[in-house]
Amino acid sequence: MTARGPRAPRGPDSGADSGAAGASGAAPGPPARTAVDDHLAALDAALSGPARAKSRMLAEVRDGLADAAAAHTDAGAPTRADAAARAVRDFGTVEEVGPAFQRELTIVQARQTARIVALIVPFLMACWYLVGVTADDAGGRLPAPVHVLAANLGGLAALAALLAAGSLAATGAVSRRLATPRRLPLVVAWTGTTAAVALAVSALTLSAGAVLAQDWPVSALAGALTLVAHTRLAASARACRRCALLAR
């Protein structure tokens, strides 16, 4: 067995050298933000619309800017940051490109609101009819003023549903042949608001009438469904109104 020789003493700088070696092997930090990241953040803050459509739009913009930055790098841009800045400059500022993106998001929001009105209102009108029929069958006929008010509000809601269906057509297949009117999203927003108010007042009227007619179960179910629908529709109409004002 061969004896080991004495270990060489460690110099004062050996610990620093090992620390420097460990530091050099550390994982790199996150990449620095570029003009593309800042531009996307500004565009995200400036736009309003359905979250899924907006996220998809920003992803497409990011991919386009990344391709443009890569092209500038291949063309001889000195740094990655310079290539990104050139790509953003070619793309346009938020003030230049934002309105076109906002109009597209506004149409998507208008279609979403119109779809909610066109689907929910007929269903709830059927529920209200069921409340009235059930109350009559139970021997507690609804008061005449309740019938009149519910009929008028139901007619208003039905008109809103027809307008919503027409808006869906105008922003769908018809838009391939004719330009979508600029004020149509605002019309859809106020149509949704009108329908939401009509739903709420009709639900209260029929529920109160059903209570007077001593018919609780069906009226409670119809009132709960109407409350959920009113909340969903009112939120969508409010978002549509905000998008329409931004797109003007």
Residues 216-242: pLDDT tens digits? 676 677 777 887 888 899 999 999 999
3-class SS at 33? Answer: coil
Dihedral through CA 229, CA 235, CA 238, CA 244, nearest 10?
-100
The set of residues, in sequence order, having a beta carbon less than 8 Å from that of 209 and lying 6+ positions away, is 135, 142, 143, 146, 150
In this prediction the pTM is 0.75
Residues 168-206: pLDDT tens digits? 888 876 666 667 788 889 999 999 998 888 877 877 776
- Return the CATH fold of 106-246: Four Helix Bundle (Hemerythrin (Met), subunit A) (1.20.120)
Q: Do the Cβ atoms of 222 and 206 come closer than 8 Å?
A: yes
Gyration radius of the chain over CA positions: 31
Residues 111-162: pLDDT tens digits? 999 999 988 888 887 777 776 676 655 555 556 666 677 677 777 878 888 8
d(CA 135, CA 115): 31
Mean pLDDT of 79-103: 94
Residue ranges per structural domain of the chain: 34-92, 106-246
3-class SS at 7? Answer: coil
- Give the distance, in angstroms, between the CA of residue 173 and the centroid of all CA atoms in the same chain: 22
75 vs 207, higher pLDDT: 75
Residues 38-79: pLDDT tens digits? 999 999 999 999 999 999 999 999 999 999 999 999 999 999
Residues 9-31: pLDDT tens digits? 444 444 444 444 444 444 555 66
The model's confidence at residue 109, banded by pLDDT at 50, 70 and 90, is very high
